Amino acid sequence: RAFGHIAPAIEPALAHSSVDGIVAALKAHPPDARIALVGHEPFLGALLARLLGATQGKRLAFEKGGAALVDLPNGPAASGRLRWFLKPRILRSLAGPAENTAPRVEP
């Protein structure tokens, strides 16, 4: 709700890309673009480290279900700024209790 309706753009080619490939794809977007990347370890941790200016081969360890927000005011080729790095349990607590959306079945 905070960002209004944003239609996702899925880039299947990026699923088999390298960290350099993702950085190159990010360069195609304007600096103020809001981009969400979803992935798995160890790739996602290596990408995050690279976006923060680490040398190749370094990575940050994500827990399954974790998330991070990075500002890239000078684009993905420059070092970004880590705004937050959250573990899954923190994200669950921020989400609040789960709503049961399944229809209720009476015996």
Each domain of the chain, given as residue ranges in start order, spans 16-95
Query: Residues 74-92: pLDDT tens digits?
Result: 888 889 999 999 888 998 8
Q: Are 51 and 72 in contact (CB under 8 A)?
A: yes
* Superfamily holding 16-95: Phosphoglycerate mutase-like (3.40.50.1240)
pTM, entire model:
0.75
Q: Are 94 and 67 in contact (CB under 8 A)?
A: no
Query: Residues 8-55: pLDDT tens digits?
Result: 778 877 788 898 898 888 888 887 788 888 888 888 899 999 999 988
Q: Are 35 and 26 in contact (CB under 8 A)?
A: yes
